[in-house]
Amino acid sequence: MGLFVSWKETILDWFEIFGPASLFLLSFTEAIIQPVPPDLMYLPMLINAAGSTPTIIWLWLVVTIASVLGSLVGYWLGQKWGRGLFEKFGQTHHISKLENLFEKYGTLGVFIAAFSPIPYKVFGWFAGMGEMEKKSFVIAGLFGRALRFGLEALIIGIYGQQAIDAIMWLLDNEILLGIALIGLFVGGFFAWRWWKELASDPQSS
């Protein structure tokens, strides 16, 4: 864990050389490919801005808008090269599955990814590959990111350092939490199917 934290701090130190633009660049690039979440820079900035509502709102807008703009780059990358990679490795049947997935659940899926620990960038790439309607993609991302970063600002405003410690723990375990969320979703789906099939069975005489 120590090595991982040190690695993240090195990346944060590198981004800080850009001064006021650091938060924008970190949030923008994280939504495309780099692994360090913008929360690690955004949360300390919120603490420093305590008592200044205009500054807090400005930070919230910057981190939210930058993240959504970055996801559009990820969308474009998935749209431009994603299909080619799948075709190169003989996995063309997955493309139609992605298209069906985003046609049915795309907006909800992007919103969940934007709000939760599930990597937002992955949904951006897949949305581009699946040719998800771009307006729906942007709207879902805006709502999800705005809600996530807005709640962080609100919680820190109420609970201060205790909230930061809890959020940092969540960020350190975001991969495990993402897997757990997916597992809960899959388990719930199969439980729902089981209940539906059970309800449709004829009653024994």
Indicate the pLDDT class of residue 180, thresholds 50, 70 and 90: low
| Whole-number Å distance between alpha carbons of 125 and 204 | 50
Q: Which range has the top average pLDDT, 3-7, 15-19, 31-35? A: 31-35
Helix axes 161-172, 134-159, angle to 10 degrees: 140
Q: In the chain, what are the domain boundaries? A: 2-172, 175-205
Residue 198 phi, psi dihedral angles, 5° rounding: -65, -40
| Whole-number Å distance between alpha carbons of 104 and 89 | 26
Q: Which residue has the higher pLDDT, 43 or 103?
A: 43
Number of residues that make up the chain: 205
| Whole-number Å distance between alpha carbons of 27 and 66 | 6
| 157, 104 contact by CB (below 8 A) | no
Which range has the worst mean pLDDT, 12-16, 48-52, 102-106?
A: 102-106
| Whole-number Å distance between alpha carbons of 87 and 36 | 30
pLDDT at residue 3 tops 90 = no
pLDDT at residue 5 tops 80 = no
Which range has the worst mean pLDDT, 17-21, 57-61, 93-97, 117-121?
A: 93-97
List, for residues 54-82, the tens digit of each pLDDT value. Answer: 998 999 999 999 999 999 999 999 888 87
Helix axes 39-48, 161-172, angle to 10 degrees: 180
| Whole-number Å distance between alpha carbons of 118 and 182 | 9
| 60, 103 contact by CB (below 8 A) | no
Q: Which range has the top average pLDDT, 10-24, 74-88, 131-145, 146-160? A: 131-145
List, for residues 33-51, the tens digit of each pLDDT value. Answer: 888 888 888 988 888 887 7
Provide DSSP, 153-173. Answer: HHHHHHHTHHHHHHHHHHHHT
